[in-house]
Protein backbone atom coordinates (compact mmCIF):
# COMPACT_ATOMS: atom_id res chain seq x y z
CA UNK A 1 0.00 0.00 0.00
CA UNK A 2 1.23 3.48 -0.84
CA UNK A 3 1.93 5.72 2.21
CA UNK A 4 1.60 9.50 2.05
CA UNK A 5 2.01 12.19 4.68
CA UNK A 6 -0.76 14.73 5.31
CA UNK A 7 -0.35 17.60 7.79
CA UNK A 8 -3.23 19.42 9.52
CA UNK A 9 -2.64 23.06 10.39
CA UNK A 10 -4.77 25.74 12.01
CA UNK A 11 -5.20 27.78 15.17
CA UNK A 12 -5.71 26.12 18.51
CA UNK A 13 -9.30 24.97 19.04
CA UNK A 14 -10.43 24.90 15.39
CA UNK A 15 -11.03 21.14 15.54
CA UNK A 16 -7.99 19.56 13.90
CA UNK A 17 -7.83 16.66 16.37
CA UNK A 18 -11.61 16.22 16.26
CA UNK A 19 -11.56 16.02 12.46
CA UNK A 20 -8.82 13.39 12.57
CA UNK A 21 -10.60 11.36 15.24
CA UNK A 22 -13.84 11.52 13.26
CA UNK A 23 -12.00 10.28 10.16
CA UNK A 24 -9.80 7.64 11.79
CA UNK A 25 -12.08 6.41 14.62
CA UNK A 26 -15.49 7.66 13.43
CA UNK A 27 -16.10 9.28 16.79
CA UNK A 28 -16.44 12.71 18.32
CA UNK A 29 -15.32 13.44 21.85
CA UNK A 30 -15.99 16.65 23.73
CA UNK A 31 -13.00 16.27 26.02
CA UNK A 32 -9.42 15.51 25.11
CA UNK A 33 -5.96 16.87 25.77
CA UNK A 34 -4.70 19.57 23.42
CA UNK A 35 -1.94 18.64 21.00
CA UNK A 36 1.57 19.61 22.08
CA UNK A 37 4.01 19.52 19.19
CA UNK A 38 2.35 16.91 16.99
CA UNK A 39 0.66 13.52 17.05
CA UNK A 40 0.65 11.06 14.17
CA UNK A 41 -2.35 8.93 13.13
CA UNK A 42 -2.69 6.45 10.28
CA UNK A 43 -5.71 5.58 8.22
CA UNK A 44 -6.35 4.03 4.83
CA UNK A 45 -8.33 5.50 1.99
CA UNK A 46 -9.57 2.74 -0.27
CA UNK A 47 -10.73 2.74 -3.87
CA UNK A 48 -9.37 6.02 -5.19
CA UNK A 49 -7.65 7.07 -8.41
CA UNK A 50 -8.91 7.12 -11.97
CA UNK A 51 -9.75 3.41 -11.86
CA UNK A 52 -11.10 3.45 -8.29
CA UNK A 53 -8.78 0.58 -7.37
CA UNK A 54 -5.90 2.29 -5.60
CA UNK A 55 -5.50 2.26 -1.83
CA UNK A 56 -3.53 4.89 0.04
CA UNK A 57 -2.40 4.89 3.65
CA UNK A 58 -2.32 8.38 5.11
CA UNK A 59 0.16 9.33 7.84
CA UNK A 60 -1.80 12.20 9.36
CA UNK A 61 0.16 14.72 11.39
CA UNK A 62 -1.97 16.57 13.94
CA UNK A 63 -0.12 19.75 14.86
CA UNK A 64 -0.12 22.14 17.80
CA UNK A 65 -2.26 25.16 16.90
CA UNK A 66 0.04 27.57 18.71
CA UNK A 67 2.97 26.39 16.60
CA UNK A 68 1.37 26.10 13.14
CA UNK A 69 3.31 28.84 11.35
CA UNK A 70 6.63 27.89 12.96
CA UNK A 71 6.14 24.19 12.19
CA UNK A 72 6.28 24.93 8.47
CA UNK A 73 9.85 26.09 8.92
CA UNK A 74 10.94 22.88 10.67
CA UNK A 75 12.33 20.16 8.41
CA UNK A 76 10.84 17.11 10.20
CA UNK A 77 7.31 18.43 9.78
CA UNK A 78 7.48 19.47 6.13
CA UNK A 79 9.82 16.75 4.90
CA UNK A 80 7.87 14.23 2.87
CA UNK A 81 4.56 16.11 3.10
CA UNK A 82 2.27 15.36 0.18
CA UNK A 83 -0.84 17.21 1.30
CA UNK A 84 -2.04 19.77 3.82
CA UNK A 85 -5.44 20.35 5.39
CA UNK A 86 -5.70 23.83 6.89
CA UNK A 87 -8.59 24.27 9.30
CA UNK A 88 -10.59 27.32 10.42
CA UNK A 89 -13.50 27.52 12.87
CA UNK A 90 -16.63 28.95 11.23
CA UNK A 91 -17.84 30.20 14.60
CA UNK A 92 -14.63 32.27 15.00
CA UNK A 93 -14.18 34.34 11.81
CA UNK A 94 -10.66 35.52 12.70
CA UNK A 95 -9.43 31.94 12.30
CA UNK A 96 -10.19 32.22 8.58
CA UNK A 97 -7.50 34.89 8.26
CA UNK A 98 -5.05 32.56 9.99
CA UNK A 99 -6.08 29.73 7.63
CA UNK A 100 -5.39 31.94 4.60
CA UNK A 101 -2.06 33.07 6.05
CA UNK A 102 -1.07 29.44 6.63
CA UNK A 103 -2.04 28.59 3.04
CA UNK A 104 0.30 31.33 1.79
CA UNK A 105 3.06 29.99 4.08
CA UNK A 106 2.54 26.47 2.72
CA UNK A 107 2.74 27.75 -0.84
CA UNK A 108 6.07 29.35 0.09
CA UNK A 109 7.67 26.64 2.29
CA UNK A 110 6.34 23.49 0.60
CA UNK A 111 5.42 24.57 -2.94
CA UNK A 112 3.52 22.20 -5.16
CA UNK A 113 1.84 20.27 -2.35
CA UNK A 114 -1.89 19.80 -2.42
CA UNK A 115 -3.73 22.09 0.02
CA UNK A 116 -7.36 21.81 1.11
CA UNK A 117 -9.01 24.48 3.27
CA UNK A 118 -11.58 23.28 5.80
CA UNK A 119 -14.18 25.51 7.42
CA UNK A 120 -15.02 23.39 10.45
CA UNK A 121 -17.82 23.52 13.03
CA UNK A 122 -20.61 23.98 10.50
CA UNK A 123 -22.94 22.54 13.15
CA UNK A 124 -22.45 25.72 15.22
CA UNK A 125 -23.38 28.22 12.50
CA UNK A 126 -26.08 26.37 10.57
CA UNK A 127 -26.86 26.42 6.87
CA UNK A 128 -27.71 30.11 6.81
CA UNK A 129 -24.14 31.35 7.17
CA UNK A 130 -22.91 32.90 3.91
CA UNK A 131 -19.46 31.90 2.67
CA UNK A 132 -16.87 34.29 4.07
CA UNK A 133 -15.95 37.06 1.59
CA UNK A 134 -12.25 36.40 2.24
CA UNK A 135 -12.58 33.14 0.32
CA UNK A 136 -13.71 34.70 -2.96
CA UNK A 137 -10.25 34.60 -4.56
CA UNK A 138 -8.87 31.46 -2.93
CA UNK A 139 -7.20 29.03 -5.34
CA UNK A 140 -7.27 26.02 -3.02
CA UNK A 141 -10.35 23.78 -2.64
CA UNK A 142 -12.60 24.71 0.31
CA UNK A 143 -14.92 22.35 2.19
CA UNK A 144 -17.34 23.11 5.01
CA UNK A 145 -17.06 20.38 7.66
CA UNK A 146 -18.29 19.37 11.07
CA UNK A 147 -16.26 16.96 13.16
CA UNK A 148 -19.22 16.69 15.52
CA UNK A 149 -21.76 15.52 12.91
CA UNK A 150 -19.22 14.03 10.50
CA UNK A 151 -20.36 16.35 7.67
CA UNK A 152 -17.86 16.23 4.79
CA UNK A 153 -15.03 14.88 6.99
CA UNK A 154 -14.53 11.69 4.99
CA UNK A 155 -14.84 13.74 1.79
CA UNK A 156 -12.03 16.05 2.93
CA UNK A 157 -9.52 13.27 3.57
CA UNK A 158 -10.63 11.31 0.51
CA UNK A 159 -10.31 14.40 -1.73
CA UNK A 160 -6.80 15.06 -0.43
CA UNK A 161 -5.77 11.42 -0.93
CA UNK A 162 -7.18 11.44 -4.47
CA UNK A 163 -5.44 14.74 -5.31
CA UNK A 164 -2.12 13.42 -3.96
CA UNK A 165 -2.45 10.33 -6.12
CA UNK A 166 -3.59 12.26 -9.21
CA UNK A 167 -0.75 14.76 -8.94
CA UNK A 168 1.89 12.12 -8.16
CA UNK A 169 2.92 13.79 -4.90
List pLDDT tens digits, range 98-124.
Answer: 999 999 989 988 899 999 999 999 999
Adjacency order of strands within the sheet including 54-63: 38-48, 54-63, 2-10, 81-89, 114-120, 142-144
Mutual angle of helices 153-167 and 16-25, in 10-degree steps = 90
The pLDDT tens digits of the residues spanning 46-80 come to 989 888 889 999 999 988 766 666 666 666 667 88
Q: Which residue, 78, 134, 131, is CA-closest to 106?
A: 78
Backbone angles phi, psi at 143, to 5 degrees: -130, 140
Average pLDDT over residues 71-98: 85
Domains and CATH numbers, the chain: 2-167 (3.40.50.300)
pLDDT at 72: 66
Q: How far apart are CA 152 and CA 109, in angstroms?
A: 28
Amino acid sequence: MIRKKVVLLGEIGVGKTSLIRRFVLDRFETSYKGTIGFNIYTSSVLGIGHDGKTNLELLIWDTDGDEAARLLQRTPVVQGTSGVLIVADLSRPRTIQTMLSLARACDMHIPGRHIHLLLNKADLVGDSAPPPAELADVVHPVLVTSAKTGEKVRDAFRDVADAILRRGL
